[in-house]
């Protein structure tokens, strides 16, 4: 904190001094925003209109929308990556949110041992990263992995998982479900925030459990559910570590996803212009999806102001 503490100068009023302090307080963030976020966003937009390849930017030529045109109309890999990313996202978000919701509902009661259960369900979601990707590589091992062993106990011959065109992507979805604990905790906090008198009133009116769930729990929880949906959609579109460590996009292009595409194009083939265009398309996809969710949320998300907005 090297900020200069304004001494008791009379020239500033209290209000002005508070305003100066505000800018000092957010100063570091603001500089960082300009240098590492805002500036780069503009720069990457500029890059995306060039054919810049390699290290030296001076050789880059302005090509207009050519990169976008090529991506959308000529590059099969782009569509494969997009399809795979959507597949992964839908799978992990839908099953992930639903699973987290069910576990949160079950855990939302005062039962002996529920704290322990909560910790167990939550634990895997913090244990992410390369170490866990490697663990799952081993769990999915077709011959000796735990998953196929468990399946063999009930008489099912498990698939090749990461070695199979058909099963590699579902395997990544399955792995992502191991991390639903984070969503569960958020939903659980939401459930505990629902005022108890609502349920008491419903009980006096003779409401059934199901109708309590439908008419109190779901609407009261809907803003939190919505938040969870948006956050997990955005996160799922950015899957990278698992792909890089577990499949490298394969077999074939079965798990080739957008961020892995960006990574390879930029940092292995050094096609900076092309990959910037790709990054912008990813951003657009996420942005549109978020808007769609926001728009769709009017139908089902309930805000306490009393009316559906």
Footprint of other proteins on 6-25 (CB under 8 A): 6, 8, 14-15, 17-19, 21-25
**Does 302 interact with other proteins (rule: CB under 8 A)?**
no
Q: Report in angstroms how near the CB of residue 241 gets to other proteins at its nearest.
A: 5
Pick the binder of other proteins from 72, 80, 220, 234 (CB under 8 A): 234
Tokens of 31: 């500089």
The 254-283 contact track toward other proteins, x by CB under 8 A, reads: -----x--xx--xx----x--xx--xx-xx
Question: Is there binding between residue 29 and other proteins (CB under 8 A)?
Answer: yes
Using CB under 8 A, which residues numbered 169 to 228 contact other proteins?
178, 181-182, 185-190, 193, 203-204, 206-208, 223-224, 227-228
From first CA to last CA, the distance across the chain in angstroms is 43
Candidates 286, 287, 237, 236; CA nearest to 258 is: 237
At how many degrees (to 10) do helices 114-126 and 181-192 cross? 140
Nearer Cβ to other proteins (178/302):
178
Question: Is residue 168 close enough to count as binding other proteins by CB under 8 A?
Answer: no
Please choose, from the candidates 49, 8, 3, 38, the residue with its C-alpha nearest in 3D space to the C-alpha of residue 24.
Answer: 3
Window 53-72: residues binding other proteins (CB under 8 A): 55, 57
Asked whether 229 and 100 are in contact (CB, 8 A), the reply is: no
Task: Closer to other proteins by CB, 65 or 126: give it.
Answer: 126
CB of 186 to other proteins, least distance (A): 3
Residues 6+ apart with CB under 8 A from 42: none
Using the contact rule CB under 8 A, the part of the chain among 63-71, 78-86, 87-95, 144-152 near other proteins is 144-152
Interaction between residue 290 and other proteins (CB under 8 A) = yes
Nearest to 266 by CA among 75, 53, 36, 72: 53
CA distance 18 to 21: 5
Choosing from 65, 98, 123, 292, the residue that interacts with other proteins (CB under 8 A) is 123
Cβ 305 to other proteins, closest distance in Å? 14
Q: Are 186 and 193 in contact (CB under 8 A)?
A: no
Distance between CA 108 and CA 302 in Å, rounded? 21
Residue list 72-101, contact with other proteins (CB under 8 A): none
């Amino acid at each position: 904190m090297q900020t200069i503490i304004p001494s008791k100068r009379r020239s500033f009023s209290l209000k002005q001094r508070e305003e100066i302090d505000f800018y000092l307080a957010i100063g570091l963030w603001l500089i960082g925003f300009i240098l590492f976020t805002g500036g780069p966003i503009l720069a990457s937009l500029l890059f995306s209109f060039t054919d810049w390849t390699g290290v030296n930017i001076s050789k880059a030529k302005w090509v207009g929308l050519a990169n976008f045109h090529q991506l959308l109309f000529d590059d099969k890999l782009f569509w494969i990556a997009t399809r795979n990313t959507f597949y992964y996202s839908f799978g992990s978000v839908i099953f992930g949110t639903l699973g987290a919701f069910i576990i949160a509902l079950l855990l939302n009661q005062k039962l002996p041992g529920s704290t322990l259960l909560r910790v167990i369900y939550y634990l895997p979601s913090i244990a992410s990263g390369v170490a866990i990707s490697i663990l799952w590589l081993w769990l999915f091992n077709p011959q000796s992995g735990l998953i196929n062993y468990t399946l063999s106990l009930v008489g099912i011959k498990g698939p090749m998982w990461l070695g199979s065109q058909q099963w590699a992507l579902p395997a990544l979805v399955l792995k992502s479900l191991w991390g639903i604990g984070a969503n569960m905790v958020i939903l659980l906090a939401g459930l505990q925030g629902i005022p108890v008198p609502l349920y008491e009133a419903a009980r006096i009116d003779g409401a059934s459990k199901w109708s309590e769930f439908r008419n109190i729990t779901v609407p009261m929880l809907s803003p939190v559910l919505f938040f969870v949906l948006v956050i997990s959609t955005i996160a799922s579109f950015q899957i990278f570590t698992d792909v890089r460590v577990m499949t490298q996009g394969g077999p074939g292009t079965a798990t080739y996803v957008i961020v892995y595409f960006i990574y390879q194009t930029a940092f292995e083939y050094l096609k900076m212009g092309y990959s910037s265009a790709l990054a912008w398309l990813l951003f657009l996809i996420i942005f549109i999806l978020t808007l769609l969710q926001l728009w769709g949320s009017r139908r089902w998300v309930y805000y306490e102001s009393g009316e559906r907005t």
